[in-house]
Amino acid sequence: MGIYAMTGGATGIGAAIKEQVRARGDQMIVVDIRDADVVADLSTPEGRAAAIAGILERTPEGLDGFVACAGLGPNNSPALVARVNYFGAVELLEGLRDALARRRGAAVIISSNSAPMSTDADYVATLLAGDEQGAVSHLEGKDGQTAYSGSKLAVARWVRRNAAAWAAQGVRMNAVAPGYITTPLSQAAAADPRYADAMKAFVGSIPVGRAGEPEDIANVVSFLLTPAASFICGSVLFVDGGHDAMFRPDQF
């Protein structure tokens, strides 16, 4: 039986990943703000430390895999988006690195196909520098989409920058970049008058002709956690119905 942990397993993509991993007979420890194996608030340093401690207490033999899935959409406070989407992912991965190395595990971060749409280079650089307060201060007066797309670009770059060093310890690390997926998070954004028209147009332009479902992302994440994906390392895999190819045909 494999031993896995994840953040954000209560609903949407996270719930689908949790269900798939458990259905194949593996253990999946879930961190979330409520109704989870480890209850912790990833928007605070104390909450992240508690999440790491809670996972390590339950996995003294190490981890076969970890999925950083917890995230907030652009309809939330920009400061909370930065704290949860970037620091809530990166700090947990760093805290679990040795546990993953012990079992030559795999790590997956959920990014987004909104990442290449980020236009605030200074914000992304501040995140990657690990300056949480600086990132939050930088977002004052900015909108949620700036915070969201920048946070997702930053986690993808963090994966790319660290993948080789982690692989040397035996840990494969990749990012998955979903497009529009029908989840409570996306539905909340679609219901927000600030984003409703843009979201509707976005869904209508998906090349394969439909919105994604949580299982579409879970299928890919579950695969990346297995030995069948043992030569995939440092990738940012777009699972978005063809949107990224349509938007950026000459960039890959």
**Does some domain include residue 77?**
yes
| 249 assigned to some structural domain | no
Q: Are 161 and 120 a contacting pair, CB within 8 Å?
A: no
Closest CA to 240 of 182, 176, 175, 179: 179
CA angle in degrees (0–180, nearest 5) for 214-46-107: 40
pLDDT grade, residue 128 (50/70/90)? very high
Q: How many domains does the chain contain in total?
A: 1
Position 248 in a domain: no
Residue 200's pLDDT band (boundaries 50, 70, 90)?
confident
pTM: 0.94
Tell me the CATH number at 153: 3.40.50.720
From the centroid of its chain, how far is CA 227? 21
Residue 15 maps to a domain: yes
Residue 113, domain extent: 3-242
Alpha-carbon distances of 121 from 98, 110, 194, 234, rounded to whole Å: 31, 20, 23, 22
Give the whole-angstrom CA distance, residue 220 versus residue 140: 36
Give the residue numbers annotated as catalytic, written as ranges.
Answer: 148
The tens digit of pLDDT for each residue in 161-173 reads 999 999 999 999 9
Q: Establish if 247 belongs to a structural domain.
A: no
